Amino acid sequence: MARSQLRRPQLLLNLSVPALAARAATLPADGVGLLRAEFLALGAGRHPRAILEADGEEAYVGLFQDGIEQVAGAFHPRPVTYRACDLKSNEYRGLEGGERFEPVEANPMIGARGAYRYLAHPREFALELRAIAQARARGHDNVRLMLPFVRTAAELRELAGLVRPTGVELWAMAEVPATALLPRGFAREVDGISIGANDLVALVLGVYRDSPELARRYDASDPAVTEALRRIIEGAHAEGRPVCICGDQPSTDAALVRTLVDLEIDAISVVPDAFEPTRALLDELGV
């Protein structure tokens, strides 16, 4: 299909620091495609379970709710996609009190993170859901929830059962190759799919992206990555679900943006500094 016949994807923003939301909201973006909860946890400096243990549930909920409200308020009524906390075990261990709660893992990237943690520690996940529910009850009804690092459709189905009673729109990240192999099974459990480009490229190619020795092998333009992207997008669309892409890669990789437009992705989320260059690129592509 000629690019002139393709629908222009929405252009969203990635945000990590709520204090920057008001300035970012002045950009003509369609919303926030990625609000990283882990930066809220890192800002506290203490392991979330240490906060829960010492200060109680309301302090734990406030750790997330305050940041959610700050960003959602700045962007309302545009949607804000809040990604539940996705620190790895080594990052959690680096927080005050973290060594009491976290194992030493040989490979934290594929260890106790993401969706697995919510099932392993249901009380903490329930409190994070409370933070979202309370923010929405205070008028921030533009917040939706995204679950990171989901490994299986069964895992996603179990978590969806916990989230659905809250009434919040539910998205899941596609960053494990299983989502490319069985995309429709994942997509039918949620309201939308967001591709985590960083981890997807690393896991499809088997390359640790922070390794100086392997940096040249980390290539989002590899045909295997393009095929994974195609399968995820087409599979989600077959279930009537929209697809976004977030993470750092689309902010710096014009070739990837061109590929995503050709694959008919619905939305692209970039860091604020990359918004204008990416908008100009979409104009240049004629979509």
In this predicted model, what pLDDT tens digit does every residue of 136-159 receive, in sequence order? Answer: 999 999 999 999 999 999 999 999
Residue 20 scores a pLDDT above 70:
yes
Closest CA to 144 of 237, 12, 271: 12
The whole-number pLDDT of residue 70 equals 97
Tell the burial category of 19 from Cβ atoms under 10 Å away from its Cβ (0-12, 13-18, 19+).
Answer: exposed
In this prediction, residue 39 has a pLDDT band, given cuts at 50, 70 and 90, of: confident
Cα angle at 52 between 50 and 54, to 5 degrees? 65
- The CATH class of 3-174+243-285 is alpha beta
Query: Where in the chain are the domains?
Result: 3-174+243-285
DSSP sequence for 40-64 = HHHHH-B-HHHHHHHH-HHHHHHHH
Report the predicted TM-score, pTM, of the whole model to 2 decimal places: 0.94
pLDDT in tens, 83-94: 999 989 998 899
The single-letter code of the amino acid at 106 is A
